[in-house]
Structure 1
């Protein structure tokens, strides 16, 4: 808005009409100007402003015609301006001895045409034509009497002749008068347009805040659902396998059954503890939330707990192995918990779909710019029913987690049987390096 032209003729914005209160204020203004012009008219009559002034009734009529249209100045700004200009010239031609409030009323009409004209080109054209007509009329009305009064024949007292002095004074006065009315009217319209644009932007920002808040709520619900799925699904799946193993050996190997039940108890306690930590964090507004991904603080799990995770699978009766390739290095909390959750979800899916007879092979590779997680299972009998890549909330959750840290996921059945989950996760140093290269 700051670079707008004075009239902004090509702007499609139309200034809203004033309220009923605004129209009432215009009517009050017309009454006040008329009352003051009558008092001014009486003073000019008393001064003897004109040697042969117009009759009093004509003066009152002209003051009424000059001030009354101001009541409609914001309804019909251009029409009021043209009418006011005609009456203003008539007041001078008819020798009505009042120039103070006539000029004020005419100034208000000129200002209003610029401030409230709904058709900008018409408003500008009307004001320029009125100004041009006024200059022509004023020169003819003032310079002709000046010559008739003998100003041209008078001796030059100052630095310029009397005729030139009268002309310059007339030009200066009218430039200030008409220029001020034109400029301030246009500036009032531009200020109104800028206020409207600011209100519109404020409304848009409020709507955007509402949309952002709604999206934040949806994302938070998604994050909670993902965390609950990761925590509950894994532990419940493991406990289900352990309970089945305990039931099968309860009669012939009570000690093995006791060990399975102890593992169930341990898994249940761990699930409760992790749920407690997560819910405590959700109630704490000071904890940071990573949009679309896991938070750093709700869980103490990470790559360091992967051996324990595979140990839980082994305690459930599955053959599970963990292999670490490369030189381990510290990972950011977000990357570390993402690795843990991916492996946890892959094991949960293997338990659900491959059964207790499947073997699980988990590999964690430390590469130069990323870590790679690969979890495969051998499959089981009956054959898995979930063969579609990306189906199920578990796969969707893993994709969302990885997308939050810039990682990718490959998941699907293997040609030789079983299922494969592979995730590539950029490390913090790789992400920082890519940002620097982009800059």
Structure 2
């Protein structure tokens, strides 16, 4: 058994109880008992026919054969009782010279093996097997000692000498029995350990399958949270732009139809863009699988900041973009994060900056980092000078920046207005 499940394998054997056999196993045991019983009945008559052993009454032989073989029908359900019955029947056959030493040995071996392989109380199974083996060896030694003085028993074997033929015969019998009972004991324990290891492997397989299912569901849930954050950014940005443009169109509709028409065109454009992005994001939610990493929402990056500023200007928020340092390649994940932070910051300025607010967006490249800074001059209703940055939008920005290893500052400026500054680590630029 491999180290696939250290926790399970470390548990002592006494804590696991081998389950009883199923219907198929019980039928197999009944067939085995019937076959062995019939074989013993036939074998005992063949042995008696040779005249090599004592001749018992036919009914005695049949009763003995049934007593030896029939208990095996329930060997895996009650292994302790079957082992005792088989041992007693074996002793009975030897003492009363029924004269069958082939299938009765097989039946006893199976009984002792089954006790080791299927015994559910391990201490009892061990003690009972040792007791049966000890009793059998005591019986063997007793017979060897008794028959040593009876010359009519195996008369062809001389009893003279330290290592007489009879002593050699006795040693052979002891070795055979050691191998016989030792094999039954060892293979019984090995079968129990194998069944226990198989149970542990099946349990581990189920646990791994459940864990894999939980991990998959967690991954889907996390992806849905990411999509929800995307939805928040898309809706907040475009809806705020449409609201400002629609308000501007309403105010100038009578005196400047051309300006109203331009504002309404901007509303239409923002609405189309929002619908396209929402369709892409919501399409991922129709399946149980997480959205692919290449969704259109992830195509936003630092190159689209100019479009973001143009949208803010069209929405009535004077905004300027400054790029400081030499432009360089930025990973897509960081580029999207920069875009979303800037988008959220400008959206918040439009919502809370108040009339007359202006905004500045700075993108600063250094040797080992990229910094985006959004600041404004507004301090309107709904924005406190001591704002702590604990709103849902702010939490979303913090999570985004943290997910790519960056840091962020959010809060009011000492000279008025509001500041959002995020810094993202980049690989150091190589100079030639």
TM-score scaled by length of structure 2:
0.85
SS of the residue aligned with 2:45? helix
Match among 236, 241, 244 for residue 239 of structure 2: 236
What's 1:193 paired with?
A: 196
What's 2:214 paired with?
A: 211
Matches within 5 A, 1:8-407: 10-50=13-53, 52-142=54-144, 144-146=146-148, 148-149=150-151, 151-153=157-159, 161-275=164-278, 278=281, 289=292, 295=294, 298-384=297-383, 387-392=387-392, 394-407=393-406
Separation of aligned partners in 1, 2:358 and 2:107: 96
Maintained 8 Å contact 2:319/2:358 = yes
Separation of aligned partners in 1, 2:33 and 2:289: 62
Q: Deviations over 1:15-50 (max 9, x none)?
A: 111234433443343233222211111111111131
Question: Are the structure 2 counterparts of residues 285 and 115 from structure 1 closer, same or farther at C-alpha, using a change threshold of 3 Å?
Answer: closer
Maintained 8 Å contact 2:284/2:291 = no
By how many angstroms is 1:102 displaced? 0.9
Separation of aligned partners in 2, 1:320 and 1:58: 111
Runs of at least 5 residues in structure 1 that lack an aligned partner in the other structure? 431-439
SS of the residue aligned with 1:31? helix
Maintained 8 Å contact 1:143/1:163 = no
Q: Deviations over 1:300-339 (max 9, x none)?
A: 3210111221121122221212233333320111111111
Question: Are the structure 2 counterparts of residues 227 and 13 from structure 1 closer, same or farther at C-alpha, using a change threshold of 3 Å?
Answer: same
Question: Are the structure 2 counterparts of residues 130 and 408 from structure 1 closer, same or farther at C-alpha, using a change threshold of 3 Å?
Answer: farther
Deviates more, 1:266-275 or 1:336-345: 266-275
Separation of aligned partners in 1, 2:360 and 2:19: 72
SS of the residue aligned with 2:199? helix
Separation of aligned partners in 2, 1:207 and 1:76: 35
Deviates more, 1:342-351 or 1:315-324: 315-324
Maintained 8 Å contact 2:219/2:290 = no
Q: Deviations over 1:61-115 (max 9, x none)?
A: 2222212222332222123212321221221111111111211110111111011
Q: Deviations over 1:234-292 (max 9, x none)?
A: 112112112222333334444433433333333334334444555678889999745xx
Separation of aligned partners in 2, 1:280 and 1:20: 51
SS of the residue aligned with 2:423? strand
Runs of at least 5 residues in structure 2 that lack an aligned partner in the other structure? none
Q: How many residues align?
A: 418
Separation of aligned partners in 1, 2:110 and 2:39: 15
Separation of aligned partners in 1, 2:121 and 2:12: 9
SS of the residue aligned with 2:320? strand
Maintained 8 Å contact 1:281/1:298 = no
By how many angstroms is 1:216 displaced? 3.3
Separation of aligned partners in 2, 1:275 and 1:113: 68
Question: Are the structure 2 counterparts of residues 356 and 33 from structure 1 closer, same or farther at C-alpha, using a change threshold of 3 Å?
Answer: farther
Maintained 8 Å contact 2:115/2:125 = yes
